[in-house]
Amino acid sequence: MAIIVQKYGGSSVADTDKVMAVARRVVDTVMEGYQVVVVVSAQGDTTDSLIQQARAISERPPKREMDMLLATGEQVSIALLAMAIDSLGQPVISLTGAQGGIMTDTQHMKARIREVDGARISAELRKGQVVIVAGFQGMTSTHDITTLGRGGSDTTAVAVAAALRADMCEIFTDVDGVYSADPRLVFDARRLNQVDYGEMLELASLGAMILQPRAVEVAAVYGVPIHVRSSFSRKPGTMIREVNAVEREISVTGVASDANCAKITLAGIPSNVNVLHNVFSALASEGVNVDMIVQAGTASPTADLTFTVTREDRQTALDTIAGLEGGQDWDVICDDDVAKVSIVGAGMMTNPGVAAKMFEALSAEEIPVFVVSTSEIKVSCLVPRSRHQDAVRVCHKKFELHAGK
């Protein structure tokens, strides 16, 4: 019998009525002849509230204890959904991440799934039960609870689908698919029928919060097709799968933005590669992820180095630089009021002039650009945070994404 994995996000299970609606949908899927594994997130804003509760106690709560706390959100949802499905007469069992065989590394709050031992889930399916697995959480080899980073239930669902060789992983959320831009920012954003894994990975990594990037990565590696669709309608949504080159007509598929950035400039540092090595290896050893990097003035004895980090990593980055040999003498400028706006499209590789068109659109609206980075399938610009929504909208318009040209 074919297996389907369905993941329901926090807004889809936010209250009793919504939990009952999800239960009915799950039972309908069983009636269609599938073995169903359901992955659920914590209800509504539960995870945010738990984080606030922790912060009210401590500025820097131990990460292990944060995981112990955050994992409770998903445990509530699995139990309630199991009760709802049971009330409809369908045999069901809920499992925590650990019971579901989600084994992770030891990086609390951003753990990576190492392995999914699907034995228990398979055994429960064979008994004719729907299996509900708590999203976002896993267990280390020493039996500690971990969580997978914000949005991590998506990754749980895809990893479970890969382990069970499921036919499909359906991601049910509060929008009816992946759009050419966040529909909350761009009113005429267009729903995409299909998106290539590579494009989706870029969109997700560059701030489109609809899917956790790691989920797309796992799906691409194991060839799991993902169907992103609405919990509140039966219409088909967006298929994420391998799209072959002949099917690609457009150069730009979507626009994404990320306001969780801080720009750090080290002005007048010695212009030599050893300094670059010292700065970035020190940041890496402190676990700071550096994103965009630009160095100017390399022909002179001194240069200006600018890079971006997430806002959470900003202080660690500044402390690390201050601790470097000579670091106290550098002029360090940090700017939090920035955001990254990116255009993404696999068709870019074969279409010159895409970056020029983006700069033209931003310049026509007098939106300053501080840093640029590119890959084969994206162009990203760092802009003032106050202009980031304008930047998303003008890029969307310039590339006529509402019309899918």
Under rule CB under 6 A, residue 27 binds ligand ADP? no
Residue of 358, 200, 382, 377 lying closest to 291 (CA atoms): 382
Q: How far is the CB of 295 from Mg ion (least distance, A)?
A: 36
Closer to ligand ADP by Cβ: residue 48 or 174: 174
Question: Residues 137 to 166: which contact ligand ADP by CB under 6 A?
Answer: 151
Whether 168 and 227 have beta carbons less than 8 Å apart is answered as: yes
DSSP letter string, 181-196: S-TTT-TT--B-SEEE
Under rule CB under 5 A, residue 44 binds Mg ion? no
Under rule CB under 6 A, residue 152 binds ligand ASP? yes
> What tokens appear for 82 in the block?
């199991």
Question: Residues 1 to 40: which contact ligand ASP by CB under 6 A?
Answer: 9-10
Interface residue with Mg ion among 138, 151, 152, 207 (CB under 5 A) is 151
Residue with tokens 């933005």: 257
Closer to ligand ADP by Cβ: residue 77 or 271: 77
Closer to Mg ion by Cβ: residue 214 or 263: 214
Our CA angle for 277, 278, 281, nearest 5°, is: 75
Q: How far is the CB of 324 from ligand ASP (least distance, A)?
A: 34
Residue with tokens 């019309």: 403
Question: Residues 49 to 108: which contact ligand ASP by CB under 6 A?
Answer: 73
DSSP letter string, 128-158: T-EEEEESSEEE-TT--EEE--TTTHHHHHH
Interface map 227-266 toward ligand ADP (x if CB under 6 A): ---------------------------x------------
Whether 169 and 29 have beta carbons less than 8 Å apart is answered as: no
Name the 3-class secondary structure at 17. Answer: helix
Stretch that binds ligand ADP, among 79-87, 175-183, 274-282, 383-391 (CB under 6 A): 175-183
CA distance 281 to 301: 22
DSSP letter string, 254-315: EEEEEEEEEEEEEEEEE-SHHHHHHHHHHHHHTT-----EEEE-TTSSEEEEEEEE-GGGHH
Interface residue with ligand ASP among 97, 151, 198, 237 (CB under 6 A) is 151
**Residue 327 interacting entry, from ligand ADP, Mg ion, ligand ASP, none, C-beta within 5 to 8 Å by type:** none
Question: Residues 117 to 146: which contact Mg ion by CB under 5 A?
Answer: none
CA distance 165 to 26: 19
Q: How far is the CB of 192 from ligand ADP (least distance, A)?
A: 8
Interface residue with ligand ADP among 164, 178, 215, 279 (CB under 6 A) is 178
Give the interface with ligand ASP as residue ranges (CB under 6 A).
9-10, 41-42, 47, 73, 135-136, 150-154
* Binding region for Mg ion (CB under 5 A): 9, 151
